[in-house]
Amino acid sequence: MDLRVSHLLPTYARADLAFERGQGAWLTATDGMRFLDFAGGVAVNCLGHAHPALVAALSEQAGRLWHISNLYRIPEAERLAERLCAASFADLVFFCNSGAEAMEGAVKIARKYHTVSGRPERYRAITFEGAFHGRTLAMLAAGGQAKHLDGFGPPVAGFDQVPFGDIDAVKRALSPETAAILVEPIQGEGGVRVAPPGFLRALRELCDAHGLLLVFDEVQTGIGRTGTFFAYERFGVAPDVMAVAKGLGGGFPVGAVLATAEAGKGMTIGAHGSTFGGNPLAMAVGNAVLDVVLAPGFLENVQEKALLFKQRLAGIKDRHPGVIGEVRGEGLLIGLAAAVPNDQLVAALRSETLLTVGAGENVVRLLPPLIVEDAEIAAAIERIDRAATRLEQAAANNATRETIFG
Ligand SMILES: *Cc1c(COP(=O)(O)O)cnc(C)c1O
C-alpha cells in the first residue's frame, strides 16, 4: 500500500501507520508493532478493541438481520431507546449515524419546538467559542471555527457565538429569535475545557426564565467517558435535548438525539428521518455497550482508574514542567496542556508506542478505554515519561547547538 497514491480525499494529515488487529487497549500494526491505544478512535472505542460482548452481539445480529429501514418497528431500537431514557433525563430518542447528525437533529427539535409552541420566530441558537459539533454545513456554523468554515460559502444562519463560560455574554446575545443554547459540558476538541463551576446551572436558569431549550452535546463526554453515564450528571444540571454518538456504539457507527417529551413535541410523523438510523446492527451493539457500561460497579471502576491515572500524571507533570503544563479533564477524558507544540508531543508519544489525540489550546488528549487496567496505566505513564525525557534532551541539544553555532 503506497499512501502517496491513495485515492482517499486528502482531508486528514494521517500518520503513516495502519493496524491489523486490536485487543482491549492494545493495537497491532500491519508491521507487527504493538501500540497502547489511548486515542480510542477519538473517544469511540469505549470498551477497547474486540470486546467479547460486542463481538458476540454484532456476530449474532449479523447472522440474523442487518437492515429493514424505519418503515417497520425495530425492537432492538425500541429497547435501546427505553434504556437510554431510563438512564437519563429523556423521554424520547431518535437514532442516527454520527455526532454531527445527532446535533443536526437536536437543532431541528429545538426549532420545531418553538414553531409548534406558537413562536416560529425563535430559530437561533447560542453556541460557544472553542465548540465542536461536527462537520455538516449547519454544525460548522454552530462550531464557528474560521479554519473549518473557510471556503465553504456563507455560514448557515442561526448561530450566535460567545466565549465559553461567560454568562454575561450569553445574556447579551439573547434576542427574541433565540430558541436554544448549545453547549458541550466539557469541550473535547476545543482542548478538554470543563465548563466552569456554576456555568451550566446558570444556563439552565436562563433557559427556564426565557423559555429556551438547553441542548447538551455529549457526543464525546457521554457513555461513561467522564466516570458517570453522562457528563451532565456531574454538574447536577439536566438539558432538554442531548446529542450522543461516539461511545454509544463502541466503534460501530451510531448516534442518538435524546429529548424530553415536551422538547420533542413538535417532532411528529414526517418531521425527521434517516435511512440507516436505528439499524439493527447498530442497535444490537448499542444494547451490548449499555449491558457493560450500566452493569453495577462499572462506572465506579472508571472513576477509580481515572483517579489513579490523574495522580500518576500529576507526578509526570512535576518531573517534566517543560513538556507538560497542566493535567485536566474529568474521568477518562484527560487533557495534557503541552508546553511544547502538541503535535510534537503526540508524535513523540507515538514513537514510544502510545497513541493519543491532539486538541485545541495545544492539548494532548488521553482517551483510554473505560476497561483500562492498572498495568496499562503504568505502561502509559512509562511511555509518557520517556517521550517527555526525549523531548527535553532534544531541546537541550538544540540549545547547545545554538550556543555553539549562533
Ligand atoms: C466528534 C464530535 C462531534 C461530531 O461527531 P461526528 O460523528 O464526527 O459527526 C460532535 N460533537 C462533539 C462534542 C464531538 O466530540
pLDDT in tens, 254-299: 999 999 999 999 999 999 999 999 999 999 999 999 999 999 999 9
What's the whole-model pTM score?
A: 0.97
- The CATH label, of 3.50.50.60, 3.20.10.10, 3.40.50.1100, 3.90.1150.10, for the domain at 296-405 is 3.90.1150.10
SS3 181: strand
Asked if 139 contacts 173 with a C-beta cutoff of 8 angstroms, the reply is no
Question: Rounded to the nearest whole angstrom, what is the distance from the C-alpha of residue 133 to the centroid of ligand 1?
Answer: 5
127 lines ligand 1 (CB under 6 A): no
State the average pLDDT over residues 246-251. Answer: 98
325-351: b (≥16 Cβ within 10 Å) or e: bebbbbbbbbbbbbbbebeebbebbbe
d(CA 143, CA 285): 29
Comparing 104-118, 163-177, 180-194, 390-404, the range with the smallest average pLDDT is 390-404
Q: Is the pLDDT of residue 406 over 90?
A: no
Question: How much of the chain is in helix, strand and coil states, percent to nearest 5?
Answer: 40, 20, 40
Q: Which amino acid is at 285?
A: V
pLDDT reported for residue 1: 53
Q: What DSSP string describes 45-60? A: -TT-BS-HHHHHHHHH
State the average pLDDT over residues 106-117. Answer: 98
Question: Rounded to the nearest whole angstrom, what is the distance from the C-alpha of residue 138 to the centroid of ligand 1?
Answer: 13
How, if at all, do strands 124-128 and 178-183 pair? parallel
Going from N- to C-terminal start, the domains of the chain cover: 52-293, 296-405
Supply the residue whose CA is at minimum distance from atom 15 of ligand 1.
220
Average per-residue pLDDT for the chain: 97
- pLDDT band of residue 4 (cuts 50, 70, 90) is low
CA 364 to chain centre: 14
d(CA 101, CA 123): 18
pLDDT reported for residue 372: 98
What is the topology classification, in CATH, of domain 52-293? Aspartate Aminotransferase; domain 2 (3.40.640)
184 lines ligand 1 (CB under 6 A): yes
Question: Best substitution site from 135, 192, 220, 254 to test ligand 1's pocket, by max atoms within 8 Å of Cβ?
Answer: 220
Question: Which residues lie across from 35 on neighbouring strands?
Answer: 27
112 lines ligand 1 (CB under 6 A): no
Q: Is the pLDDT of residue 353 over 60?
A: yes
217 lines ligand 1 (CB under 6 A): yes
Question: Rounded to the nearest whole angstrom, what is the distance from the C-alpha of residue 135 to the centroid of ligand 1?
Answer: 8
